[in-house]
Amino acid sequence: MTTAHWPAPFSALPLDATVRIPASKSLTNRYLVLAAIAEGESRLRAPLQSRDSDLMIGALRALGAGILEVPGNGDVPDLVVTPIPAGFSAPDSGILVDCGLAGTVMRFVPPLAALVSGAVRFSGDPAALVRPMAPIVVALEGLGVRVDDGEDGFLPFTVHGTGAVHGGHVQVDAGGSSQFISAILLVASRFSQGLHLEHIGESVPSVDHISMTVEILRSLGVSVDDSTPNHWFVKPASIAGFDVELEQDLSNAGPFLAAALATRGTVRIPNWPANTTQVGDKWREILPQFGATVTLENGVLTVTGGAQIRGVDISDTSELAPSTAAICALASTPSRLRGISHLRGHETDRLAALVAEINALGGDAVETEDGLIITPAPLRAGVFHSYHDHRMATAGAIIGLAVPGVEVENIGTTAKTMPGFPAMWADMVAQTAEPSAGTGSTAAVEAGV
């Protein structure tokens, strides 16, 4: 990925664009894990092609799964997955899994590795080595799985699988990430005695992602009882091979929808699901609070920005927070984002990073214990750093639409979940006619004032 500065496209006119979004990373990587433990061949139609999904494919292949690209109905090939063979054993030298900076790989694959025989070592990018992993280590050890070098709660560590996991009652503190719950749930049906997973500690962030995991499991015939708060009961079961078409990534749709607000224009996204487990569907609730008009008709989500961007007071925006914060930086009144303290443990400390980058452009952002307060201030040209975080990079692109002269450092980091982002962003802007002579850019220039 390049680290050169990317001049963020500035739009002097309200956008009028239609954008198609690639498949969901969260869904792709969950279905890949489940296909690897299914009883027969599975097919994922139009899955995401990105660094995160490539890392997951590499990890599952290392554990014995067969994954082939085959022609699909669109521009993206389908994936045909042959599950990990029964009795698969790692070579005497062990297996090394590169997690990169993918949270789904570093959290979801270690419990799966416990189901094969042998040593599987997990490591990743330098930034991955400071992401919290202790709950996974504690949960695996609570299930009787030996883990070496995980005492500090970070990568790298080695899982020593024996080919089977007994299961039973295990406690985990998932206050830092919902992925710790999803990771164990995804493979729990393969435990000989099933699972009673109990969350202890503070509330779990991003509970929508746990709901996604539970609904996927149920759709594949796995019994999951989540009727008692903070408890999940999974019965042993076999998962039949499946054939599934992946929804587009609604979280990744966020920057494009935010572009409508940043330019006071209109952006349409086709094939928006009427019912979904994706957290990105919250954009339909979030954007009207900023003053946007949001409609979903005939599968097309249309967002039109208002004359001004109103400040908001919103809780639990989770992975949508960087794009939400970028909109707040362009608002005409103050905003507060709450319930997102767990973002300090994502690809970077997103709260500190957002404050640093918004303020470097002349903004006024401060951290709170659980979020951000962003007060209107005139923004200026400058460099918006990505911190190797795809959502930071796209936040910079949003601001750059309304503030001329913004450059995003390392836009290539968007390849983590959306490799084509720079071209998609440029195409979105290009769909709007060039301004005629004498046309002003009042809406964009006044953003953030």
Which one of the listed residues 247, 319, 357, 409 is annotated catalytic?
Answer: 319
Q: What is the DSSP letter of 203?
A: P
Question: Residue 430 is which amino acid?
Answer: A
Whole-number Å distance between alpha carbons of 413 and 395: 12
Q: Which residue has the tokens 């992925």?
A: 179
What is the rounded CA–CA span in Å between residue 199 and residue 140? 14
User: Alpha carbon of 188 to those of 57, 66, 227, 236, 240: distances in Å?
Assistant: 20, 21, 17, 7, 15
Residues in the chain: 449
Q: How far is the C-alpha of 94 from the C-alpha of 89, rounded, in Å?
A: 9
User: Cα–Cα distance between 355 and 374 in angstroms, integer?
Assistant: 9
Nearest to 285 by CA among 307, 269, 297, 301: 301
Q: Is 319 assigned a catalytic role?
A: yes
> 357 φ, ψ to 5°?
-80, -40
Q: How many CB atoms lie within 10 A of CB 104?
A: 25
Which residues, listed in sequence order, are joined to residue 365 by a DSSP beta bridge? Answer: 374
Task: Please give the backbone phi and psi of residue 251, each rounded to the nearest 5 degrees, phi first.
Answer: -70, -45
9/258 Cα distance (integer angstroms): 14
Please identify every residue annotated as catalytic: 319
